[in-house]
Structure formats: C-alpha cells, structure tokens
Amino acid sequence: MTAQAGFRRGLWDGISLVVGYFSIALSFGLLAVRLGFSPLEAQMVSAVVYAGASQFALVSLLAVGASAWSVAGVVVAMNLRHLFYGPALLSRMPADGPRLPRPLLAFGMTDEVFALASASLTRAHGDRWLFGVQMAAYGAWLAGTAAGAFASRWDVARLPAVDAALAFVLPALFLALLLPMLTRRHVLSLVVAGGTALMLAGWLPGHVTMLVAMVAGAAVAALRPQGGGDDAD
C-alpha cells in the first residue's frame, strides 16, 4: 500500500468513528456554551485537549469556580490510561522504512482510535493509515464541537429516535470490533477485562475502571503459558 493510499484508506476506515465522535463533540459544544463559555472557547478546548470525557470535566469544573491547575490535574489523571496506547500500536508497525514522526501520531491516540487500530492495524497498513484514521476522528471532533456550539443558540427539541441512534454508535462500534477477536486465544483475557469493567463500573469513575480492566486483561494474556502462535495478532 502506497503512503497516499494508506492515508486515504485510513480516512475511509475512520468513518465509523466520525459518526460517534461528531455526536459526542456536539454534546460537548452544547454543554460548554450553556455553561457560559463562548463557541470559540469551546472550539479551543476541543482543538487543544482532544480527549472526550476530560473535556466535559474541564468545562464543568471551571464553571463552578475550580482553579485552572486543579482542573488540569484532573484532565491529566483522567487520561493516564493513554500511557499504553502508543507502545501497543507501535509493536504492530514496520520497524524500518520511511515513517511519520512519532510526535505527530501521538496527538490523535484516543480511546476509540486505539480500539479501531487494535482491531484493524497490520504491518501492511502502516502509520499513514493510522494517521488517516486519526485525522478523520479529529475532524469529526472539531466539526461536532462547532455544530454543538452553533446549535446552542436555538432551543431545538430533541428527537428521541435520533438521540437513541447516536447514543448507540459507540457501543455498536466496539461490538463490531470485538466480534473478530472472539477466539479461543483471546477469550480468557477478554472475559477478565470485561468482568473487571462490569464489577468496577458501579464503584469507580469510568476512566479508572477502564485502566484497571485493560491492564487486568492484558496481564492475564502476558502471564498465561505460552503456546503456538501466541504473538500473531
């Protein structure tokens, strides 16, 4: 796959993220403006922070008078789970040949991009494909924020059917990505990760639950006795 073809394929494969990102960012734009921030300020937060749940926390905490440094600390703590994403994806990419600068790829390493890339990325795809997926997601995030900030001018009656469809986009995407992974080789780590998430979700914040579940599932995979073809993914 050429570099340009890889990027275009990444943009195309990122379409499933675009729908989900647009709807979540739209909610963020609406919330930010309703909390008293300007559309430009909402857009700046989406452009600079680019991390879903922590952006909601950022504007909500600032709106009730929290200090900038304490809010920044919360944002960073909520995103600690991203520590593992880069190394996990790099281990699937070609080690030699021309490649994009890592600082460029790091910016777009979000939960959903990581999930999609984990399910799809092979050495044949390369880092241009990953960059294409990231650009599709980032574009949708900025466009959704702008649309939400713009829509906040009107008290638009929400349509339950549209709300329901948009709310189901991300679970549907994760389910579709998970299906090809339901093999005997993965099943134990998947059960441990899913079970951990299910047990902790009612007690801990989502970002902490996510981190613990992810590490628990991966630890089971790392510690189990090594069989044939373990590393093929």
Partner 1 sequence: MRTELLLAAVAGGVGTYLIRFLPMLAGDRLAALSGKGRSRRFLLALGPSAIVALLVLSARDLIVADGDTLSLPFGVLAAGAAVVVLVQRLTHNPALATLAGALAVGLGQALNFS
Asked if 35 touches partner 1 (CB under 8 A), the answer is no
CA atoms within 13 A on the CB side of 143: 12
The answer to whether 38 and 30 have CB atoms below 8 angstroms apart is no
CB neighbours of 24 closer than 8 A, spacing ≥ 6? 52, 144, 170
Asked if 176 touches partner 1 (CB under 8 A), the answer is yes
CB of 6 vs partner 1, minimal distance in Å: 17
Determine which residue in the list 3, 142, 147, 218 makes contact with partner 1, applying CB under 8 A. Answer: 218
CB neighbours of 98 closer than 8 A, spacing ≥ 6? 3
CA atoms within 13 A on the CB side of 193: 15
- # chain residues binding partner 1, by CB under 8 A: 106
Determine which residue in the list 8, 60, 118, 147 makes contact with partner 1, applying CB under 8 A. Answer: 118
Strands (E), 19-134: none
Choices 124-132, 138-146, 147-155, 159-167 (CB under 8 A): range interacting with partner 1:
159-167
Nearer to partner 1, 147 or 186 (CB): 186
CA–CA separation, 102 and 108 (whole Å):
11
Asked if 149 touches partner 1 (CB under 8 A), the answer is no
Asked if 201 touches partner 1 (CB under 8 A), the answer is yes
Asked if 134 touches partner 1 (CB under 8 A), the answer is no
CA–CA separation, 98 and 21 (whole Å):
30
Asked if 186 touches partner 1 (CB under 8 A), the answer is yes
Nearer to partner 1, 1 or 107 (CB): 107
Asked if 122 touches partner 1 (CB under 8 A), the answer is no
Of 43-102, binders to partner 1 (CB under 8 A) are 44-45, 48-51, 54, 58, 62, 67-69, 71-72, 74-76, 79-80, 82-93, 95, 102
Asked if 111 touches partner 1 (CB under 8 A), the answer is yes
The stretches of 64-125 forming alpha helices (DSSP H) are: 68-78, 85-90, 102-107, 111-120
Residue 152 per-residue DSSP state: T
Asked if 109 touches partner 1 (CB under 8 A), the answer is yes
